[in-house]
Structure 1
Amino acid sequence: MEQKEIRFRKQRDLGVIISDSFDFLKQESQALLRMIGIYVLPFIVLYAGAQVYFQRNVLSQFDLSNPESLMADIGPFYLNLFMFMFFGLFVQSLLVGTYYSYLEAYIKHGKGNFKLADISPNFFSNSFLALGANLIFVIIVFFGAMMFIVPGLYFANTLSLIVFILIFEKKGIGDAMSRSWKLVNSSWWNTLLLNLIALIIVYVVGLVLSIPSMIMGISSTIFSSEMTNPTDYPNWFWVLNGISSVVTTTLLIIPFTFQAFQYFNLSERNDPTTTPTQQK
């Protein structure tokens, strides 16, 4: 079947956004997998290894039943946790910056009118833009979550488009935040539902991949008189955990795609004069 160019710049309802997102990912899967495999996958694998290390060597040594040991280990624990979370944020920013560089070229130049070599210089610059935006996003959502969770959810949804806006419009983080605020609040619940659906898809895939880990944990509890220490789990258990982390991290391009389509949908509905109705 001949593939057609998918036009981003138009109004869509929620169902069409989801179907068009998967159509786009399916059509561009070879180019996207090649791009991610070359530029992002090594960092994703490193992140998966860091995750396995954190679970196996840090959490397993954190004795919640011993208050004295707990207080002695709390500093190193939080340091490891902070470094792990920051590295995860960096990897996510690298993925979204690279992926949105591809989307930017696809939208502006059209399908088949560019090569990866033409846009690869933009990957790291856009990734650092994404990292700055994600840091601000996390800080705002964190302080919002401290105010009884609901404000954190509101900020997370309202600012969910800032990375795409920052990379695509290139008008600075302040403009991206105000633009995301304006667009999302014009259809807040629709955007929330779209974000939740995307995250549920990624979560379900991760849950399926974690079934062997769940079986291992259940069997160790049932058939052992004492709780098995995670460091005693076989190597294949940790390999599967690492593979699950690689897959679920890569699948974050699903919510990233939903958000890109939602940006153009809301932009066309709210300010069609600033976004051409026809893709060049």
Structure 2
Amino acid sequence: MEQKDIRFRKTRDLGAIITDSFEFLKQEIKPISRILLVYVLPFVVLYVVAQIYMQRNVLSRFDLNDPENLMANIGPFYSNLFLFMLFGLFINSLLVGTYYSYLEAYIKLGKGNFTLHDISSRFFSNSLLALGAGLLYTAAIILGIFMCVLPGIYIANTLSLIAFIAIFEKKGISDAISKSWRLVNSQWWNTLALNIVSILLVYAIGTILSLPTILLGFSTGIFAPADVNLADFPDWYWMWTGFASVLTTLLSVIPVTFLAFQYFNLEERENPGAVNP
């Protein structure tokens, strides 16, 4: 099948953004898979192992029928949860920084005009940019949720482009925040719909991947007892859970691709014909 050089800077409707995103991922699946497998997968596996450890060895200590047990274990639980959330943010930043480094080279240099070796030096610096954007993004969302749920949704949607803008434009996090705010508010509902579609898509794939554990779990009765201990679940359950979690995490390249195409869609609408790939 003949491949084409996909033009990112172009006005698109919601359907075209989704279609072109999948077309790009299909064409570039080999190099994208290579960089994710080499630079991101080992950390994702470590993250999933930590996740399973927390479920088996921390949550299994809770006895909902024993208030003293709950009070004794609530401190370690929150400590582990906080560290786990930070680790998850790091993993997401590493994936976004690595993947957006490839997109940056593809857009600025053109398809076939670079090698993975040429851009590998950018992975770390771009991941740090993604981490900074992610920390501010998460803090803003939490603040919005504390104010009320709706402000949290508004902030999450309005600032959803900051990671790509920070990496692609290299003008700093504050500039990325202001530009994401301006661009998204020009088509706020369109961006919200795109984010919802991407979330539902990844969630649906994750649910499908988890079906073996759900079906086998019900068929063997491990979900039946109300006081079931997570540590007693069989090994196959945890192995498949880990496998599904790894794949679901890597599939987050789908929503971040949507956002990259949305950035150029909004940028072209704001500055038609500007010189940019």
What's the TM-score, normalizing by structure 1? Answer: 0.95
Q: Which residue does 1:90 correspond to in 2?
A: 90
Where 2:58 maps in the other structure, the secondary structure is helix
Give the residue type in structure 2 aligned to 1:267: E
User: What RMSD, in angstroms, separates the aligned Cα atoms of the two structures?
Assistant: 1.5
1:56 pairs with 2:66: no
**Pair 1:223–1:52, CA change in 2 (3 A):** closer
Q: Cα offset for 1:212?
A: 2.3
CA distance in 2, matches of 1:138, 1:189: 21
CA distance in 1, matches of 2:226, 2:55: 19
Q: Deviations over 1:171-225 (max 9, x none)?
A: 1110000000000000000000001111111100100111122234434658966
CA distance in 2, matches of 1:162, 1:65: 45
**Pair 1:219–1:147, CA change in 2 (3 A):** farther
Q: Deviations over 1:138-187 (max 9, x none)?
A: 01101111122111000000000000000000111100000000000000
Q: Which residue does 2:117 correspond to in 1?
A: 117
Give the residue type in structure 2 aligned to 1:199: I
- Aligned residues of 2:222 and 2:228 also touching (Cα < 8 A): no
Q: Which residue does 1:192 correspond to in 2?
A: 192
**Pair 1:192–1:226, CA change in 2 (3 A):** closer
**Pair 1:239–1:72, CA change in 2 (3 A):** same
Q: Which residue does 1:259 correspond to in 2?
A: 259
Q: Where do 1:260-279 residues align within 5 Å?
A: 260-272=260-272, 275-276=274-275, 279=277
Which segment is superposed worse, 69-78 or 30-39? 69-78
CA distance in 2, matches of 1:236, 1:124: 35
Give the residue type in structure 2 aligned to 1:168: F
**Pair 1:13–1:63, CA change in 2 (3 A):** same
CA distance in 1, matches of 2:87, 2:200: 23
CA distance in 2, matches of 1:219, 1:140: 43
**Pair 1:235–1:267, CA change in 2 (3 A):** same
Give the residue type in structure 2 aligned to 1:2: E
Where 2:5 maps in the other structure, the secondary structure is coil
Q: Where do 1:7-86 residues align within 5 Å?
A: 7-86=7-86
Give the residue type in structure 2 aligned to 1:163: A
Q: Which residue does 2:212 correspond to in 1?
A: 212
Q: Which residue does 1:102 correspond to in 2?
A: 102
Q: Which residue does 2:136 correspond to in 1?
A: 136
**Pair 1:223–1:95, CA change in 2 (3 A):** closer
CA distance in 1, matches of 2:145, 2:240: 32
CA distance in 2, matches of 1:107, 1:131: 22
Matched-pair identity in %: 62
CA distance in 2, matches of 1:141, 1:225: 37
Which segment is superposed worse, 48-57 or 28-37? 48-57
Q: Which residue does 2:229 correspond to in 1?
A: 229
Give the residue type in structure 1 aligned to 2:249: T
- Aligned residues of 1:14 and 1:194 also touching (Cα < 8 A): yes
CA distance in 2, matches of 1:223, 1:35: 38
Where 1:210 maps in the other structure, the secondary structure is helix
CA distance in 2, matches of 1:244, 1:52: 12
Give the residue type in structure 1 aligned to 2:35: M
Q: Cα offset for 1:25?
A: 0.1
- Aligned residues of 1:11 and 1:266 also touching (Cα < 8 A): yes
Which segment is superposed worse, 130-139 or 69-78? 69-78
Q: Cα offset for 1:234?
A: 1.1
